[in-house]
Amino acid sequence: MTLCHQVERLTSNLERVEKEVAASKSTSAEMLMENKSSWAEERLQLQTRISELDGALMKATTRLTNYISTEKRKKKKIAMALKELKARNKMQQAKVEQLETENQMLKWSIAPSGDRLKKQLRDLWRHHQEFNSIILSGYKCSSMVPGAEIDLTSIAVPYKSPSGVKQKDLEHLKERLDQLDDIQRHQLNKLRGFQDGVLSETAPMDNSQVKESAVTPQ
C-alpha cells in the first residue's frame, strides 16, 4: 500500500515536472525567438553604426592626410622663403658694410683732396683778383691824357676823344683794352669751369662752404 502510494506520488510529480519543463521550453522558445529578433535588430543597428563610423574615420583620415600634406608643402615653402630672406639679409648687410666702408674711404680721400682743391681755387681766385686789379689800373692809368681816367663804358660806346688826343693813340689803347678784356673773359671762364669741377668732385662738401671759400680767399 505504501509502495503504490509512493509510485503514484512520484508519477504525479514526474508529470508535473514534465509539464513544467514543457511550459519552460515553450516559454524559452518564445523568449529565444523574441531575443533573436531583438538581437538581429540590434546587430543591424550596430552594423549600420559601424559602417557610419568607418566612413567618418575614412573621411577624417583623408582630411588628416591632406592637411599633413598641405602643411608639409607650406613648411617647405616657408623654409625656402626664410632661406631666401636670410640670403637677402646677408647681401643687404654686405652692401651696407660696403657702402659704409666706401663712405669712410670717401671721407678720408675727400679731406685732403678738398683742401687741395680749395687751395687751388683760392690761388686761382687770387690770381684773378690780381689780374682784375691790373686791368682796372690799366683802365684808370692812361698814358695819352695825363690825369684823365678811362671807364669801361667809354669803350663800349663810340668814343669821343677830347681835344688834343691823337686818333692813333686812341685806337692803340682801345686794342689793348680789347685784348685785356678777352684775357679777362678767358680767365673768368677758366675759373668758372674749375669751380664747377671742384663742386662736382667734392659733392659731400656743402656748396655754401665752397662759395664762401671762393669769395673770401685766405
**Could you read off the pLDDT of 153-185 as tens digits, one per residue?**
444 434 444 444 456 666 676 777 777 777 777
User: Is residue 138 in some structural domain?
Assistant: yes
Q: Where are the beta strands (DSSP E) in 93-140?
A: none
| Res 197: pLDDT | 63
User: Is residue 8 in some structural domain?
Assistant: no
| Res 192: pLDDT | 72
Residues with pLDDT less than 70, the chain: 1, 109-115, 117, 128, 131-132, 134-171, 173, 194-218
Alpha-carbon distance of 152 to 45, in angstroms, equals 124
| Res 67: pLDDT | 94
Alpha-carbon distance of 26 to 14, in angstroms, equals 18
| Res 168: pLDDT | 67
| Res 134: pLDDT | 66
| Res 24: pLDDT | 82
User: Is residue 72 in some structural domain?
Assistant: no
The parent domain of residue 121 ranges over: 113-215
User: Is residue 147 in some structural domain?
Assistant: yes
Alpha-carbon distance of 77 to 83, in angstroms, equals 10
| Res 180: pLDDT | 74
| Res 65: pLDDT | 94
All residues at 6 or more sequence positions from 121 whose CB lies less than 8 Å from its CB, including other chains: 194, 195, 198, 210, 213, 214, 217
What total number of domains does the chain contain?
Answer: 1
User: What proportion of the chain, given as a percentage, has pLDDT over 90?
Assistant: 23
What phi and psi values does residue 50 have, to the nearest 5 degrees?
-65, -40
User: Is residue 141 in some structural domain?
Assistant: yes
Model confidence, pTM: 0.35
| Res 64: pLDDT | 94
